[in-house]
Structures are given as structure tokens and as C-alpha cells.
Structure 1
Amino acid sequence: MIAMETKDLCLAYGEAIVFDELNFSIPKGKITVFVGSNGCGKSTLLRSLARLIKPKDGVVLIDGSEIAKLPTKEVAKRLAILPQGPIAPEGLTVLQLVKQGRYPYQSWLRQWSQEDEQKVTQALEATGMTAYAERTVDSLSGGQRQRAWIALTLAQGTDTILLDEPTTYLDLTHQIDVLDLLFELYEKEGRTIIMVLHDINLACRYAHHMVAIKDHAIWAAGKPEDIVNEEMIADVFGMECIISQDPLFGTPMVIPHGKGRKPNLD
């Protein structure tokens, strides 16, 4: 099944074309990861899926519906996006932040409900943030802040979650912590998760579906074990490497040659 897809999508900044006649799909209920070198267009593509960038031409579909024609609140009930490096207002508590995820469901006819309260409670529990509910977001560690923002997206109650580099600025322990959390959401709730990651090995470990982007075009898309090879790494990242197997998960593991010290291939 398909969660999202593009048809002849053209994205541009002014007169500069970023993507042209782009056609690809995102599988439903899986983890999809965009990879590629800096400036290749990963974040631009992710933002276009969330309707944050208006296409010059073509369409983005979510569950078969053209996202540009859906009311804003309807879009917010179908997908949630966590941008890179979000900033909360000073003094905002974790609970107040997470409650904002329920705003798409509020109206003058429907005020805060027991269901809203339940969704917020579940989001805090799922992310391990219940004990921090009354703490201000700016007082948390980097990993805790990221969990708070993910709790906000969970409270929104969408089937699809988009995240732009959710592990940026986190140390390795917190990177794994956040990615494990997202994987649990897939396993327990069948959420469709679409994210941009810089670390190719972590992308291979957590992705069911990978989209490799080069020069504002899709170089390849598919299972990591099907598309990650020495040619792909050389073309997409401009780096020589050998491909081994992750000893824990059996997924592709990229070992770069490097430019200073020569590898011992004996």
C-alpha cells in the first residue's frame, strides 16, 4: 500500500528548478529514509510532502488525495512534521508543548475533550516524557527535547510522521535512543515514518525503504540491501568505500576508505 506519492512534481525556488517531473511513492506503515549529500534536496523534498513548499507543477498525494486541495486542518489530521531544530517559546512546559498537537481537532463546536487528554497522556507515556511534563522545554537535554517534540507529533494522532534530521546535534547514545523510539512507533502502531538522516549506516539499520537523492533527483529507491552498494556510495556521496554487513542487524554497513590513511586490504 502507498501512503504518499508524487506525480510529475516540480519544485522551484524562484526560477531555479530543484526537482523536475518527480514520480515516486512512499510505502504505508513502513520507515522511509531520505539520504544524500548536503544540498542535494532531501529537506526540500520532505517539506514539499508536508505542503510547506508549493509545487511549481505536479501533485503530492496522501492516501490517494491531492494534499494541496485538502483543508489545512484535514492535512494536520493526516500527517505531522517535525522540522530540523525546532524551538519552543521560552518557559513553555513539555505538557503545554504536547497539547499543541491537539489543536487541529479544536473548534468553537468542539473544545478540549477526554479524547484529547488521553492522546496527550499516551504521547507522553510513549516517549518516556511523563515525568518531565511540568519541566520547561528549554531546561531539557537535547535528547529529552527531541522526545518532547516527537511527543507533540504523536499527540497529533496522524498515521504519517515526517522528521527532518531528527538526530542532528545529538550524541550517538541519544541518536540511537530517538531512532529506537521511532522504530517502536512503527512496530506497535504501524505508523508511516518518513525522515531525513545524514548517517548512512543508521539509515540502513532503521529504514525499510530508502530514497537516495543526488543533484535534486532520485538516484535510487528501494530496500537498503537492494540499493546500497559501492557504486551508489561513490555516485551519491562521492566517497570510495567497501560494503560490509552490520554484525548485529545484517544490514549494509558502509566502511569509507578515507583520504588520509590508506586502507589495509590485505
Structure 2
Amino acid sequence: MKPTLVTDNLTLAYGSSPVIEELDLIIPKGQITVLVGSNGCGKSTLLRSLARLLKPQSGSVLLNGQDITSQSTRKTARELAILPQGPVAPEGLTVMQLAKQGRYPHQNWLSQWSSEDEEMVEWALEVTGMSSLKYRPVDSLSGGQRQRAWIAMTLAQGTDILLLDEPTTYLDLTHQIDVLDLLYDLNAEEGRTIIMVLHDLNLACRYAHHIVAISGGKIFAQGRPEEIISEELVRNVFRLNCQVIPDPVFGTPMCVPHGKGRLLRSNRLTVAGG
């Protein structure tokens, strides 16, 4: 049975200032859920709490019906894996050594390193395009390569739930699409439940089955992209005027910001006309 992840009246805070308040959320099993919202709205804070990295001020996160804070770290790590923002590897650690850390939750004094562990690590390195760099120190890599090395470690953990905070950070457009395609395939082929924070709303609409738009520490809207993404939502959640049109390739909602476009276009026409 696929694991379940829900929040019950969840309030998260740093000090006395609430970031998320009384949140009830059900993560759809076997789907890709993307958390979106403006900077500081609580997306990453919520993701950290779902991964048992931040203790609730009140309420709870339930994994398979049990409070996640009452479960052991090892047990939780066999069910879900998280890629946080800006992880830092110890100096001199190689890509291979980093990827192997993803298998530690599966080790104990009775079950040491196995052929299955080796296969999972090699697979994770292969699908992230890091096999040729596996003996390189992580701190010698470019930003994009380091990000892919961390994603390899997360995949090597072999969990049914993946939580990723901005997995496309530091990646150029080609590698952004490669990573999101990989996650989409993992979901489609293996039924993994994937929860991501993405800043790019158009990519979120393209890859998500379920979008959760957060504003002011609460859920502004949630559902399928085509059901909830609108000019009104973008205006209220992101404080941005835009036009929402169908993506010409996939038909999913695509946000075209108004921004300063007319002013820039006017200036260009003035310059071109002398």
C-alpha cells in the first residue's frame, strides 16, 4: 500500500510568528503535487515539516495515519526522502560517496551494504547524468552538477515519497527540463508520490497533477492546474497582473506577465523610429 501524508490543523512558526496556520492538507497518493506562492509565504517551511525536519507549533503531520514526530528517523527515512534548499556536502566527499548516503536508512548491524544498495546508487547516478563524475569531489562541481549529485542521493534512498525544495535551482533550462522529466517518469512508471516547491508557475502547471497555492500562511486554492490557475489567482497570490493562456505545446495553463512589457515595447518602437 502506498504511504499517505496529510496535515491536521498544522501550525508552523519560527519563534512566536506563525508561518503556516491551522493547515489541513491531503497529499494525493501517487501524484505530483507542487507548492507555489510568493517568497516567504511558507512553501519551504511546510515542506520541511512534511519531512519531519520542523516540529509543529500545534497540529500534526501524519504519515500512514501516525504522527510523524513520533516515528523514528530511520523508519521515516525509509518512507520519504527530502532534498532541501542549498544542501552542503562535507569537503572532499565524492559524488559516489554522497549518493551512497541515500542508502544509510536501509542499513543496520544485520544488513550491511548489499548488491541492491549498489544497484540503487548506480541507477541514481545514471538517471541524473552523474555516472561520469562519480569519483569527483562534490565541492569541485559546478552549481548544476552539485544539484544533480544531491538529487542522485535522494533517488538512491528508494522511497515512495519524494520531497524536493526547488530541485531545479542552479540548473540551466535544459537540465531543469531533464530533472522534471525524470521526476515525471518516476511518478508515471513507479507511482511515486512527489511533492515539490517550484517558483516557475508555468513549469508547475506543466508537470503537476495537483497544485497547492499558498498565501498568507494558508491555502488560497488547490486542485488540478487547469481548474485553479487563473489571472485572479496569480494577482492575489503573486501580486502580478498577467494573462493566462493555454500552453501551446501541452495545453496546460501558461502565465504571461504584463509587467513592464508595454513600456519596453513603446521605448523600442521610439528608438527604432528615431
- Which runs of structure 1 show a deviation greater than 4 angstroms over 4 or more consecutive aligned residues? none
1:195 aligns with 196
Letter in 2 for 1:125: E
- The structure that has the greater radius of gyration is 2
| Bigger shift: residues 126-135 or 77-86 | 126-135
2:128 aligns with 127
2:116 aligns with 115
Aligned-pair distance for 1:141? 2.9
| Bigger shift: residues 2-11 or 49-58 | 2-11
2:272 aligns with none
Letter in 1 for 2:49: S
1:225 aligns with 226
Q: SS where residue 150 of structure 1 aligns?
A: helix
Alignment of 1:134-145 (within 5 A): 134-145=135-146
Aligned-pair distance for 1:109? 2.3
1:245 aligns with 246
| 1:164-186 Cα deviation digits (max 9, x unpaired) | 11112322222222212211221
* Identity of matched residues, %: 66
1:96 aligns with 97
Tell me if structure 1 keeps the 8 A contact 2:12–2:19. Answer: yes
| 1:84-139 Cα deviation digits (max 9, x unpaired) | 12121222111100000111122222221222112212222222322221122223
Aligned-pair distance for 1:194? 0.5
2:270 aligns with none
Tell me if structure 2 keeps the 8 A contact 1:257–1:263. Answer: no
Distance in 2 separating the partners of 1:127 and 1:152: 10
Distance in 1 separating the partners of 2:264 and 2:63: 46
Distance in 1 separating the partners of 2:220 and 2:41: 11
Distance in 1 separating the partners of 2:97 and 2:263: 53
Change (3 A) 1:143 1:119: same
| 1:52-72 Cα deviation digits (max 9, x unpaired) | 110111111123232111111
| Bigger shift: residues 76-85 or 161-170 | 161-170
Distance in 1 separating the partners of 2:99 and 2:194: 19
Change (3 A) 1:89 1:81: same
Aligned-pair distance for 1:227? 0.5
Aligned-pair distance for 1:147? 1.8
Letter in 2 for 1:120: V
Aligned-pair distance for 1:206? 0.8
Change (3 A) 1:260 1:243: closer
Distance in 1 separating the partners of 2:35 and 2:181: 18
Distance in 2 separating the partners of 1:112 and 1:252: 46
Change (3 A) 1:122 1:169: closer
Consecutive unaligned residues in structure 1, runs of 5 or more: none
TM-score by length of 2: 0.91
Tell me if structure 2 keeps the 8 A contact 1:2–1:27. Answer: no
Letter in 2 for 1:179: L
Q: SS where residue 27 of structure 2 aligns?
A: strand
Distance in 2 separating the partners of 1:2 and 1:121: 25
Distance in 2 separating the partners of 1:151 and 1:108: 25
Distance in 2 separating the partners of 1:239 and 1:97: 40
What is the root-mean-square deviation of aligned Cα atoms in Å?
Answer: 1.7
Letter in 1 for 2:82: I
| Bigger shift: residues 136-145 or 163-172 | 136-145
1:157 aligns with 158
| Bigger shift: residues 232-241 or 122-131 | 122-131
